[in-house]
Amino acid sequence: MKTPVHSISSEETIWRASQKMHEHQIGSLLVTDNGEYVGILTKTDLIYKVVEKGLEPRQTRVMDIMTQPVLSMDDQASAVEARDFMIDRNIQRLAVTRNGEIVGILSVKDLMSCLG
């Protein structure tokens, strides 16, 4: 699981989101609107929703391509439960919550390390 959670405003550009992912060496950002998490932006989104469609990163806003809603699972869930949840929903990253608050992002790579 990756902590801390990094986020970006839904109003920001894809260009800035890409820079932020590179700065922090992460594969996703949670997207905020008025202080609430409203979506997630991943490297996969950048490839398939921006590059492949020929969108201009400096003009395209995060809200235009983010995946929503943020899917999450409690930190007390097992790795197998998380794996099954991600497979069932065809997602690569999952927000992890503790007492209803997002505390980290779990990736397929994290699960592979855990489950072997």
Residue 106 inside a domain? The answer is: yes
Residue 48 inside a domain? The answer is: yes
Name beta bridge partners: 28: 42
State pTM to two decimals: 0.91
Say what the pLDDT of residue 92 is.
Answer: 94
Residue 26 inside a domain? The answer is: yes
Q: How many domains does the chain have?
A: 1
Say what the pLDDT of residue 81 is.
Answer: 96
Say what the pLDDT of residue 113 is.
Answer: 86
SS in 3 state form for 42-110? EHHHHHHHHHCCCCCCCCCEHHHHCECCCCEEECCCCHHHHHHHHHHHCCCEEEEEECCEEEEEEEHHH
Residue 1 inside a domain? The answer is: no
Residue 16 inside a domain? The answer is: yes
Domain span at 80:
7-115
Block means of pLDDT (10 residues each) for the chain, 116 residues, are 95 98 97 97 94 93 97 96 96 96 95 82
Residue 12 inside a domain? The answer is: yes
Residue 45 inside a domain? The answer is: yes
CA distances from 47 to 18, 27, 87, 115 (A): 11, 12, 21, 28
Say what the pLDDT of residue 114 is.
Answer: 80
CATH of the domain at 107: 3.10.580.10
